[in-house]
């Protein structure tokens, strides 16, 4: 079992819809959770960070964390074609010297 798991997709949604991306992790000591967006051939770009259970909203993006279920999700409201990219979930904790442990990413396609 990988330490951080994501559905590879592709996840295809129509423009204007809500895209829901999920991530599970195996290390119960994980304390910091990140969603990065990566366009093909580019570097990862931070979308959201979340550290506490519950929801965190930033514009069209909402991250949800449930430590008991070891689950973190990202919702993208009013999806745009420019949101089409790979979304990477990354997890970290102080016990492993803060290195990011990555999922393999979910490919999102937003269709006009």
Partner 1 sequence: GEEVAQTPKHLVRGEGQKAKLYCAPIKGHSYVFWYQQVLKNEFKFLISFQNENVFDETGMPKERFSAKCLPNSPCSLEIQATKLEDSAVYFCASSKSLQGRVTDTQYFGPGTRLTVL
Which residues lie near partner 1 (CB under 8 A)?
31-32, 34, 36, 38, 42-46, 49, 51, 86, 88, 90, 92-94, 96-102, 104-105
Closest distance between partner 1 and the C-beta of residue 48, in Å? 10
Residue 75 or 101: which CB sits closer to partner 1?
A: 101
Residue 33 or 83: which CB sits closer to partner 1?
A: 33
Closest distance between partner 1 and the C-beta of residue 16, in Å? 27
Closest distance between partner 1 and the C-beta of residue 51, in Å? 6
> Quick check: 2 and 76 in contact, CB under 8 A?
no
Distance CA 75, CA 97 (A): 29
- In the structure encoding, which two tokens stand for residue 28, read together? 């119960």
Phi–psi pair at 83, nearest 5 degrees: -80, -10
- List the end-to-end C-alpha distance of the chain, in Å, as a whole number: 36
> Quick check: 71 and 15 in contact, CB under 8 A?
no
Closest distance between partner 1 and the C-beta of residue 46, in Å? 6
């Amino acid at each position: 079992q990988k330490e951080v798991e994501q559905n590879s997709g592709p996840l295809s949604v129509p423009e204007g819809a809500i895209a829901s991306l999920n991530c599970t992790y195996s290390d119960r000591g994980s304390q910091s959770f990140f969603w990065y967006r990566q366009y093909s051939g580019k570097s990862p770009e931070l979308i959201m960070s979340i550290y506490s259970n519950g929801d965190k909203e930033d514009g069209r993006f909402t991250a949800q964390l449930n430590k008991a279920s070891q689950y973190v999700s990202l919702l993208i409201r009013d999806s745009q074609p420019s949101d089409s990219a790979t979304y990477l979930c990354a997890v970290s904790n102080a016990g492993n010297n803060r290195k990011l442990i990555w999922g393999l990413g979910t490919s999102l396609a937003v269709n006009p």
